[in-house]
Amino acid sequence: MQSIHLALFVGAALLFVGLLLGTLSTRVGVPSLLVFLVVGMLAGEDGIGGIQFQDFELGFLVSNLALAIILLDGGLRTRLSTFRAGLKPALTLATLGVLLTAMSVGAFATWLLGIDWRLGLLLGGIIGSTDAAAVFNVIKGAGLRLNERVESTLEIESGLNDPMAIFITVLLIDLLTLPDAKWGLETLVVLIQQFGLGALLGVALGAGLSELLLRVRSNEGLHALLLCTGGAAIFSLTNMVGGSGFLAVYLVGLIAGNRRAGTSDNVLRSMDSMAWLAQSGMFLLLGLLVTPAGLITSLLPGLMIALFLTFIARPVAVWISLLPFAFSNREKTFIAWTGLRGAVPIVLAVFPLLAGVPENRLLFDITFVVVLTSLLLQGTSIGFVARRMRVALPPAASPLAAVALEGAEDQFLVQFRIQAGSRAEGKTMDQVAFPGVQPIALVRGGVSLNLADNPVLQANDLLTWLTSHAEQEQLGEWFLATTATLRRFYGDFTVRATARVSDVAMSYGLTGLSPAVMGMTLEELFHQRHKGTPVVGDTIELGGIRLRVRSLERGQVHQVGIRLPKT
């Protein structure tokens, strides 16, 4: 009995320490995932904890369950509207990009380590895909707000690329353990089956699960638990029938988060807690599996492979994969840099251990070094690179709460707190209100004020509005203290995208524009220049002024910021 209590104490204490340090790590720019790994290593057999743990099967099981929850949470937070800008490039990166990365890393590893080419390609397949847990966690932890084209591409890629990585890994393991096996059309069928069954079951069962939960109408905490257990069941079922459970559970989250007004903020907060628990437990366990003393011999080759992956293999794969798409050089550079490796490569590195592949421990140790290097090098610098590449948007005023109204398409109740020094402070309700939004309630010091009295707004007032998603950001700017940053980014003036270029040219004295351009609306101009998929932050230089997309509505440019040349 005492041993059971001791095990529970050690497990709970490690989770507590990891979570506590993880919450503090973002303040110093260190990814929390790296903290969990280090805590696990310190608690392991070569660390101060001295815990003997080499149960790779348990680590594999826990990691798969945790990844399913993390992907489910990521899908819940992804809006279907983002797929218009990110699906095609993400799918290309998840297939061609992973294949190119695996081949180039495999060739380099074969030369560097002097191993069988099949082992080299196996290592390339293991570390060839980006990791959803790392991408979601690091972007969120860095407080980044990326433009939709880049963010959706990175998030969708990390959710879709696991089938290709698993396919390459399993194929190479079979090639090493079953040398007499014949390869041909069957291998292609397996890949199609992974993607096809994963997509089919994810969509069908995800729709059924979300509809069931909407009809049950349980409280938010129970709703989140039902989502987790239902998603985990679909993940396992899809794997059992030969599909990609990772793809399926991501699609389950995507459908549940977008179907009939989606999920409430309270459900997302509950899911956020579960995702934190899943990723902390997973990385702590993976850290325990590592023997730091054994990493010494793999440290130098692992670093060299990690640097080759980061600075050569991933960038080349990204630039080739994104050639057909309208990405700027800065966007491609940032996407290449954000090829974060995390739990998925470590989990895939367990496959050769369980299958008895030669040099399996070498593959595992090098994979671990690559993951550590990726989190330390790319994870800590992602904010700096985003700003240097100009793909980061200025911070927006996030509502304290946002509730989608059922039966009212794209209508939300949102509540903001007025910050001291914001544009709204000292203004009356009439001065803040504009078309497309409707004030609902004003609370000051716990007392609800009468809106009909047109009260003067004060700092720390709580305002509730009825608004659309497209108007929400501009509304929030009234309550944000740092509006100077927004003006520098978007410009001093905002116009509707339905305005004609000719009207803008007349207002600001623009000359030398062609008749074809003068006859367009600003919306049509952005769609022409950005190949039909403009996103917030896209710019056009027009006759000496800069136009920048400020908001979208149903995939169409809604508002445009105008920045005049400095005089």
In the chain, the domains with their CATH numbers are 2-177+261-388 (1.20.1530.20), 401-481 (3.30.70.1450), 491-563 (3.30.465.10)
DSSP alpha helix (H) spans, 322-468: 329-337, 343-355, 360-388, 429-432
- The answer to whether 63 and 312 are in contact (CB under 8 A) is no
What is the number of residues in the chain? 567
pLDDT, residue 481, reads 66
pLDDT at residue 478 is higher than 60: yes
State whether residue 538 is helix, strand or coil: coil
Angle at 427 between CA 426 and CA 433, to 5 degrees: 150
Between 119 and 23, the more confident residue is: 119
Q: Exposed/middle/buried for 482, CB within 10 Å: 0-12, 13-18, 19+?
A: middle
Which of 531, 528, 509 lies closest to 520, judged by CA? 528
pLDDT band at residue 317 using 50, 70 and 90 as cut-offs: very high
pLDDT, residue 92, reads 92
pLDDT band at residue 375 using 50, 70 and 90 as cut-offs: confident
CA-to-CA separations, 439 to 200, 250, 449, 453, 551, in angstroms, rounded? 43, 36, 12, 13, 21
Percent of the chain with pLDDT over 70: 87
pLDDT, residue 109, reads 94
pLDDT, residue 333, reads 94
Tens digits of per-residue pLDDT, 517-538? Answer: 888 888 888 888 877 678 888 8
Tens digits of per-residue pLDDT, 98-140? Answer: 999 999 999 999 999 998 888 999 999 999 888 776 777 777 7
pLDDT, residue 164, reads 79
pLDDT band at residue 314 using 50, 70 and 90 as cut-offs: very high
State whether residue 161 is helix, strand or coil: coil
pLDDT at residue 182 is higher than 60: no
State whether residue 497 is helix, strand or coil: coil
Express the helix, strand and coil content of the chain in percent, nearest 5 each.
Answer: 65, 10, 25
pLDDT, residue 265, reads 65
pLDDT at residue 482 is higher than 70: no
pLDDT band at residue 446 using 50, 70 and 90 as cut-offs: confident
Q: What integer is the mean pLDDT of 140-164?
A: 81
DSSP state, residue 129: S
Angle at 471 between CA 469 and CA 477, to 5 degrees: 115
Tens digits of per-residue pLDDT, 350-359? Answer: 888 887 888 8
Neighbour order of strands in the sheet with 545-553: 493-496, 556-563, 545-553, 539-542
pLDDT at residue 181 is higher than 70: no
Q: What integer is the mean pLDDT of 445-453?
A: 85
Which of 163-167, 225-229, 503-507 shows the lowest per-residue confidence on average (mean pLDDT)?
163-167
Which of 348-357, 473-482, 506-515, 530-539 shows the lowest per-residue confidence on average (mean pLDDT)?
473-482
Mean pLDDT of the chain: 81
65, two tokens: 């369950």
pLDDT at residue 72 is higher than 80: yes
pLDDT at residue 95 is higher than 70: yes
pLDDT at residue 55 is higher than 80: no
| Model pTM score | 0.79
Tokens 């960038």 sit at which residue?
Answer: 315
DSSP state, residue 512: S
- DSSP bridge partners of 553: 556
With both helix axes pointing from N to C terminus, report the angle between 148-160 and 56-76 in degrees, rounded to the nearest 10. Answer: 150
Phi, psi dihedrals of residue 242, rounded to the nearest 5° = 95, 10
